[in-house]
Amino acid sequence: MQRKQIRSKKNQSLPNMFRTPEEIKRASAGGEPKKRLRFKKDNSVNSDSSSSASSKKNSGGELRKKCKTKLKQQSNISMSTMSPDLESFYNPNISHHDMRILQSLALKKRETLQYQQRSYEAQKLWEEDRKSLERKQEEKRKEWKSYVEKKRKRENNMNTMRMEEVKQNLRQAQSLLEARLTERDKRIEEMIQQTEGKKIRHSIEMKENYEKKRFLAEANHLERELERIMQYEECEHELNEKLKKAEKLRQRDLKNFRKKVASTNKLEELRHQERMDELMEEDKFMRNQKMKELQEREDKVIQRYMEQVRQKLQAIKQNSMHRELKGQQARATVRELEEGLETWQDHVMLMQWDALRRSEANAKLLLANRRLRVECENKERMIQHSRRYRE
Number of domains in the chain: 2
CA 94 to chain centre: 107
Contact (CB, 8 A) for 262 and 269: yes
Q: End of a domain among 106, 122, 151?
A: 151
323 φ/ψ angles, rounded to the nearest 5 degrees = -70, -35
In 3D space, the residue among 126, 12, 112 whose CA is nearest the CA of residue 65 turns out to be 126
Alpha carbon distance 10, 128 (integer Å) = 40
Per-residue pLDDT of the chain (391 residues; tens, 9 = 90+): 444 444 454 444 444 444 554 555 555 554 444 444 343 344 433 444 444 444 444 555 555 555 556 555 554 444 444 444 444 445 667 778 888 888 889 899 999 998 898 889 888 899 999 899 999 999 999 999 889 999 888 888 888 898 888 888 888 888 888 888 888 888 888 887 777 777 777 777 777 777 777 767 776 777 777 777 777 777 777 777 877 777 788 787 777 776 776 666 666 666 767 777 777 777 778 777 777 777 787 777 778 777 877 787 777 677 666 666 666 777 777 788 888 788 887 887 888 888 788 888 888 888 888 888 888 888 888 888 777 777 6
Q: How high is the pLDDT of residue 89? A: 46
Q: How high is the pLDDT of residue 144? A: 93
Q: How high is the pLDDT of residue 310? A: 77
In 3D space, the residue among 200, 186, 291, 179 whose CA is nearest the CA of residue 240 turns out to be 291
The answer to whether the Cα torsion of 236, 242, 248, 253 is positive or negative is negative
Contact (CB, 8 A) for 263 and 343: no
DSSP structure string for 136-155: HHHHHHHHHHHHHHHHHHHH
176, part of any domain:
no
Q: How high is the pLDDT of residue 272? A: 65
161, part of any domain:
no
377, part of any domain:
yes
Q: End of a domain among 136, 151, 166?
A: 151
Alpha carbon distance 36, 44 (integer Å) = 14
Q: Which residues contact 84 (CB under 8 A, 6 or more apart)?
A: 15, 17, 18, 106
Q: Are residues 11 and 141 in the same domain?
A: yes
126, part of any domain:
yes
Q: Are residues 6 and 128 in the same domain?
A: yes
3 state DSSP class of 36: coil
321, part of any domain:
yes
Q: Are residues 11 and 140 in the same domain?
A: yes
Q: How high is the pLDDT of residue 277? A: 76
3 state DSSP class of 234: helix
Q: How high is the pLDDT of residue 138? A: 92
36, part of any domain:
no
Q: Are residues 145 and 6 in the same domain?
A: yes
Q: How high is the pLDDT of residue 298? A: 75
Q: Which range marks the domain in which residue 113 is found?
A: 2-30+55-151
* Cα angle for residues 325, 327, 328 (degrees, 5° grid): 100
182, part of any domain:
no
78, part of any domain:
yes
Q: End of a domain among 134, 151, 168?
A: 151
